[in-house]
Amino acid sequence: MGDVTVPRNATVKLAKVDGQLHLLDRARIQSEGESPIEVSGEVICEGDAEFEGSLNCSRLNIEHGRVEISGDLETSGDIEVEHGELRVHGSLEAGSVEVDSRLSVGKSATAHDFEVGGTLDIGGSINATKVDVGGSFKVEGDANVEDIDVGGRIQVNGKIQCERLDAGGSAEVGGGEISRIIDVGGSFRSSKPLKFDKIDVGGTAALDQGGEGRTIDVGGRFESKGDLTFESIDVGGMVDIAGNGEGEEVDIGGMLQVSGNLHLKRDLELGGTARIGGSLRLASLEVGGMIEADLIIAEDEVKIGGRLRTTRGTKAKTIQLGQRSEVLGVLVGEHVKIGDNARVEDVYADTLDMGEKVRARNVYAKDARFESRCRISGEVKYIDRIESEPDVEFAKPPLKTSDLPKPPL
């Protein structure tokens, strides 16, 4: 059978067409058997059309209509839908797919690229090099796509495997790996563990079971409900890690919460407050507000502008406390400098410099200097030298010794 044209509103049974199949508005094609309808050439649909069964063809072109295929659709060439939509109840396989409005596939879909102006819904899994959707993109199964670019919302309920994910609105995936960048204007969420290179989100980002990646840059809030491995975190608002964190460096404008341990190879800079349930180990720490932890160990410097609270103490090469700062927990450092009107407990130092009106409990130092109106409620022991203003109050006279008590850290 050569080229076939099906008139408007007509219903025709076909098995095979050796040529082109042309359907006019509201035409219906029924398969003569259980095998797919075979068309060696192009299928052209002008207006609405319906295929009862599966369709195999070299190319599919739809103009100004809605086409529904109750079975599978397989084409060796391209699918093009102008001013219309395509619904495939089964699976779809094509070279490339371009749809102006909406594409819905009930099962899995495979093509080199998908370009959809409105909505792309996949009931199974999708395999492609590129997916470009103007509105929303939803996949019930897995998504194996190198490049995903969606103007609105992305939802992948299965695992994702891609290089780049770009969404103007929001994106949600079921774990997997995104090897280059996640760029989302609004919110991003992964319901399962995720491997990533870079997360760049304007609003909020959440990893429901933790993850492993390189850089995290979030304008609002970042949350990981599980252990997190990273290189750097830069968040304008809040970071919440329900588990352990391990990385290079962290810079947060607002608040940091870690239920477990946080270990950094480099620095933590925090403008607001931090609460670490376990130990904090890092190169240097700078906090403008308040930090709480079980234990803080820094290789270089700890600089606190507000309040420091630890259960087991803080140890660093250099510890610097700002004016009116407050410390609960022991301090151990080579060089400790305490600003005016600060409140501290026990201090162990090689060299100690206390500003005016500082309140401390016990002091153990090789060399110590106390500014005016400091008050020490416990004992002071030193090895080499002590300097103090006349109005400094010592509960006990300072005691020079050859051996200081061993620090608890």
With b for 16 or more beta-carbon neighbours within 10 A and e for fewer, the 250-285 pattern comes to bbbbbbbbbbbbbebeebbbbbbbbebbbbbbbbbb
How do beta strands 66-69 and 301-304 pair? unpaired
> Which pair of structure tokens corresponds to residue 43?
């299928």
| pLDDT band for position 1 (cuts 50, 70, 90) | low
Residue 323 near residue 305 (C-beta atoms within 8 A): no
The DSSP annotation for 116-136 comes to: ESSEEEESS-EEEEEEEESSE
d(CA 128, CA 112): 5
How do beta strands 66-69 and 49-52 pair? parallel
Question: What is the pLDDT, as a whole number, of residue 339?
Answer: 97
Predicted confidence (pLDDT) per residue in 110-132, tens digit: 999 999 999 999 999 999 999 99
Residue 203 near residue 222 (C-beta atoms within 8 A): no
SS3 256: strand
In angstroms, what CA-CA distances link 336 with 65, 264, 294, 297, 395? 77, 22, 20, 14, 21
| pLDDT band for position 2 (cuts 50, 70, 90) | confident
With a pLDDT cut of 70, the percent of the chain lying above it is: 100
d(CA 179, CA 32): 47
pTM of the predicted protein model: 0.91
Q: Is the pLDDT of residue 92 over 90?
A: yes
Predicted confidence (pLDDT) per residue in 144-179, tens digit: 999 999 999 999 999 999 999 999 999 999 999 999
Question: What is the pLDDT, as a whole number, of residue 373?
Answer: 97
Q: Is the pLDDT of residue 246 over 90?
A: yes
**What average pLDDT score do residues 70-85 get?**
96
Residue 219 near residue 234 (C-beta atoms within 8 A): no
Predicted confidence (pLDDT) per residue in 295-332, tens digit: 999 999 999 999 999 999 999 999 999 999 999 999 99
Q: Is the pLDDT of residue 279 over 80?
A: yes
Residue with tokens 């079921």: 174
What number of other Cβ atoms are within 10 A of residue 3's Cβ? 13
d(CA 197, CA 213): 5
**CA neighbor of 405 nearest in space, from 380, 384, 373:** 380
| Helix (H), strand (E) at residue 194 | strand 194-201
Indicate the average pLDDT of the chain: 96
**What average pLDDT score do residues 66-88 get?**
97
With a pLDDT cut of 90, the percent of the chain lying above it is: 95
Q: Is the pLDDT of residue 33 over 90?
A: no
d(CA 391, CA 61): 93
